[in-house]
Amino acid sequence: MEGILTVLPSLLGTITIKEERECAQSMITLYQFEDCPYCAMVRAVLEDLEIPYKKADVSRDKSDPVRKMLLLKSGVGTVPVAEINGEFIGESAAIIECLKKLKVG
């Protein structure tokens, strides 16, 4: 009994730490054109800060369903748009500001 009571708190401690790490791990998708200079700035910051992310190359056709979805969700009609933990953020400067806060927080 004494053994279980000694081990249990340390087990719970392990579980809590794991959950905190999972929450801290952001899911980021960068909607972009590979040759867009604003997208390149955002990629450079992601890489400098060593933040894992997925790239999604979007169509140049603004009537494409993904472009329409980005406009609807971010409010901007340009790329880059970053989806950060489910939130869509447009404008490279705003994305970079958000990434820097993520890394600090």
Ligand X SMILES: N[C@@H](CCC(=O)N[C@@H](CS)C(=O)NCC(=O)O)C(=O)O
Q: In this structure, are strands 54-57 and 28-32 parallel, antiparallel, or unpaired?
A: parallel
If the CB atoms of residues 22 and 34 are measured against ligand X, the closer one turns out to be 34
If the CB atoms of residues 22 and 35 are measured against ligand X, the closer one turns out to be 35
The count of chain residues that interact with ligand X, using the rule CB under 6 A, is 12
If the CB atoms of residues 13 and 77 are measured against ligand X, the closer one turns out to be 77
Segment 29 to 88, residues that bind ligand X, using CB under 6 A: 33, 36-38, 60, 62, 78-80
Q: How would you label 49-82 residue by residue, b for 16+ Cβ within 10 Å and e otherwise? A: eeeebeeeebeeeeeeeebeebbebbeeebbbbb
